[in-house]
């Protein structure tokens, strides 16, 4: 009997999104929403949110690996995200595009909408669905606030407001954001953003793949 060999799909016909782990769920939601069956996702660690200097080198390695694996079409699921232009240099080096904007808080709101509120939001602390789900793991424990609540003023004393950018309508996440604002001593505002520019940018990248 002839041996049946399993073959991988032709990677050249697919779009690989290399994204921040903080937006993985949202990328997959947009993929399903738009029926982008030829889009695949891989992520860099979400904790790079705290270490932006690690993003560009890690992305460089990830793109090199993806090319070696046969991917021709690659989209970077990051905005600049604190890399100070270093991520753009990596994108230029490999001839790939990234999400427009300074950070995910901007593209979730939509760049046009963000431009209108950016100045007024200078003293605002942003939260997203991901950060609500991971509030303890991403803020309370790493900053030691669960053990030393007196540090709240040191970390958040310069903020005036907590703005929850809601990708979905989830009452449980609303409760987390409201509780966080109260704990941090900040005014609270909820903005229903959905996926913002993420939807259009992924759709555009998928079309050109």
**Segments making up each domain of the chain, as ranges:** 11-103+197-208, 111-192
Token representation of residue 60: 């460089």
**pTM for the whole structure:** 0.90
In the block, tokens 């230029």 appear at 92
Identify which of 133, 79, 87, 75 has the alpha carbon closest to the alpha carbon of residue 107: 79
For the domain spanning 11-103+197-208, the CATH number is 3.40.50
Residue 5 has pLDDT above 70, yes or no: no
- CA distance linking residue 128 with residue 32, whole number of Å: 20
- Do residues 66 and 74 lie in contact, with contact meaning Cβ atoms separated by under 8 Å? yes
Q: Which pLDDT tens digit goes with each residue over 182-199?
A: 999 999 999 999 999 999
Residue 82, SS3? coil
The answer, yes or no, to whether residue 123 has pLDDT greater than 70, is yes
In the structure, what pLDDT confidence band is assigned to residue 10 with cuts at 50, 70 and 90?
A: low
Q: What is the mean pLDDT of residues 77-89?
A: 98
């Amino acid at each position: 009997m002839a041996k049946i060999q399993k073959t991988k799909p032709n990677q050249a016909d697919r779009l690989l999104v290399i994204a921040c782990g903080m937006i993985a769920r949202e990328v997959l939601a947009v993929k399903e929403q738009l029926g982008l069956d030829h889009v695949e996702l891989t992520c860099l660690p979400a904790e790079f949110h705290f270490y932006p200097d690690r993003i560009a080198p890690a992305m460089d390695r990830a793109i090199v690996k993806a090319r070696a694996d046969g991917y021709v079409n690659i989209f970077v699921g990051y905005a600049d995200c604190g890399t100070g232009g270093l991520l753009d240099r990596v994108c230029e080096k490999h001839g790939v595009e990234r999400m427009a904007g300074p950070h995910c808080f901007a593209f979730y709101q939509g760049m046009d909408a963000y431009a209108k509120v950016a100045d007024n939001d200078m003293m605002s602390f942003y939260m997203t669905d991901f950060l609500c789900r991971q509030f303890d793991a991403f803020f309370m424990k790493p900053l030691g606030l669960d053990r030393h609540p007196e540090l709240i003023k040191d970390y958040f004393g310069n903020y005036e407001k907590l703005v929850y950018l809601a990708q979905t309508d989830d009452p449980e996440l609303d409760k987390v954001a409201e509780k966080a604002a109260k704990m941090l001593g900040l005014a609270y505002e909820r903005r229903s953003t959905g996926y913002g520019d993420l939807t259009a940018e992924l759709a555009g990248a998928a079309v050109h793949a």
